[in-house]
Amino acid sequence: MNTILIVDDNPANLSVLSDALDQEGFEIWVAKSGKVALERVKYALPDLILLDIMMPEIDGYETCRQLKANPQTQNIPIIFMTALSDTANKVEGFQIGAVDYITKPFQQEEVISRVRLHLKLHELAENLKQKNTLLEENFAELSLAYKNLEQMQIKLIQSEQSSSVGQMISGIAHEINNPVNFIYGNLAHASEYTENILNLLRIYQEEYPIPTPRIQAELEAIDIDFLQHDLLKLINSMNIGAKRIHEIIKSTRIFSCIDEKVMKPSDIHEGIDSTLTVLNYRLKSKLEYPSIEVIKNYGQLPLVECYLGQINQVFMNILNNAIDALNYYNQQRSLEEIIQEPSQIKICTTVIDDNWIAIQFADNGSGMSEEVQAKIFEPFFTTKSAGKETGLGLSISYQIVVEKHNGNIYCKSTPGKGTEFTIKIPVQH
């Protein structure tokens, strides 16, 4: 049952309206002044108010203003009752919040029709408001669920990529390591044996300076002087090459330690160097791209508690982006411009205080706009063409640094002057 509050200082009007609306099944409350009406609504709220304008003490306009100023009563529909029919009075009433006017003397059918109409409109408005609120709540829940799903996808992709890359590199390094160790370990013996044989040959030449015709012919055929001179150089080159392969395998093993279960004190410089070793093929000059110079300015860093494999992944993502940016920039430049300002990546490490270090990667590429900078850590955002990049590298890097290491990662870029990434992580957790 809808409740209607009638506010009028005229007892006859109150009686007529009360009887008419009561017969239509409405619950009727009455107030003989605006002041009484304002007190009444403090205890119970009606569904609609019929409000007379011309009343002593507080007129209908002021009563309406106070009702609309109260958050508890501001949504109750108010219909003014008045003998005033000029436009100015009606406009004033609508401006302060009335929904309609009823002109005295009353026509009962008109009053009932208008009351029913505005009760229905109010009901529809309240239902719409509730549905909008529900929609907003559902939208917020969906947005949160989508964000959580997006983050879960990123973590799954990161975990899968990290595991796959780690297992692949670790497997390759393991398979190569055994034969390389065999070669590397035996080259020292091979060098020693070769020197012994060559020394013995020299003794033979000293003891028997005049060889037989058959030996002389063979000496000339193999050019024994060149062979003696070059053989040790050849073995030394093989030794250097095997040592380099051994260092690369060591670097790949350091880089691929993805599956650490706990943080360990780690050498950040060793992690950067291992990443550079893995990326060395991209830094060398090719037909379509010039070489990229890496300038390292390492500070005296302590061992840092971290998941080094994951931090290496951050280094890899940032360096890969820097290389891509420089290669793209070089395609826009002439050979003279490239020679005048060659491509560079500067890596700087510093101690901030007792428990924080900073790692900076700066390139001298084309830089980024503010719009791109604002989005680079967003999942699936990429400036590269479709199919070339997932847009997850920097988003994953952000999660690794911020969420897993309680650190910070920033980007500062100026179009035409390059880009700088700064990573700050605590030494201990």
Residue 131 lies inside a defined structural domain of this protein: no
Say which residues have a Cβ less than 8 Å from residue 284's Cβ, sequence separation at least 6: 291
pLDDT at residue 161 tops 60: no
Statement to judge: residues 22 and 161 lie in one domain: no
Residue 382, domain CATH: 3.30.565.10
Where a domain ends, among 48, 81, 106? 106
Side chain identity at residue 7, one-letter code: V
Place of tokens 């000293």: 206
Structure confidence by residue, pLDDT tens digits, 207-221: 888 888 888 888 778
Q: Are 298 and 268 in contact (CB under 8 A)?
A: no
Single residue among 258, 276, 299 that ends a domain in this structure: 258
pLDDT at 296: 95
Please tell me the least confidently modeled range out of 178-187, 193-202, 371-380: 178-187
DSSP H stretches of helix in 208-297: 213-222, 224-255, 268-278, 280-283
Q: Is residue 315 in some structural domain?
A: yes
Does one domain contain both 235 and 287?
no
Is there a single domain that holds both residue 247 and residue 179?
A: yes
The predicted model gives 109-125 an average pLDDT of 87
The answer to whether residues 426 and 373 belong to one domain is: yes
- Report the alpha-carbon distance of residue 79 to residue 238 in Å, rounded: 101
For residue 378, the model assigns a pLDDT of 80
Q: Are 366 and 415 in contact (CB under 8 A)?
A: yes
pLDDT of residue 174: 59
Per-residue pLDDT at 255 exceeds 90? no
Do 102 and 10 belong to one domain?
Answer: yes
**Among residues 106, 122, 137, which one ends one of the domains?**
106
Could you tell me if 276 and 352 lie in one domain? Answer: yes
Name the band, by pLDDT with cuts 50, 70 and 90, for residue 385: low
Q: Which helix (H) or strand (E) holds 29?
A: strand 27-31
In a domain? residue 296: yes
380 plus 268 within the same structural domain: yes
> In the chain, how many domains are there?
3
Q: What φ, ψ does residue 407 adopt, rounded to 5°? A: -110, -160
Reply yes or no on whether the pLDDT at 167 is more than 60.
no
Q: Contact 255/299 with Cβ under 8 angstroms?
A: no
The pTM for the full model equals 0.50
Q: Is the pLDDT of residue 256 over 70?
A: no
Tell me, what DSSP letter sits at residue 71?
T
Residue 332 belongs to domain spanning: 260-429
pLDDT given for residue 274 in this prediction: 84
Report if residue 132 sits inside a domain: no
Residues 264 and 250 in one domain: no
User: Of all residues in the chain, what percent carry a pLDDT higher than 90?
Assistant: 20
Instruction: Examine residue 348 and state whether it is found in any structural domain, yes or no.
Output: yes
Residue 123 lies in a domain: no
83 falls within a domain = yes
Can you tell me the mean pLDDT for 279-292?
83
Look at residue 142 and tell me whether its pLDDT is greater than 70: yes
Q: How does residue 356 score in pLDDT terms, banded at 50, 70 and 90?
A: very high
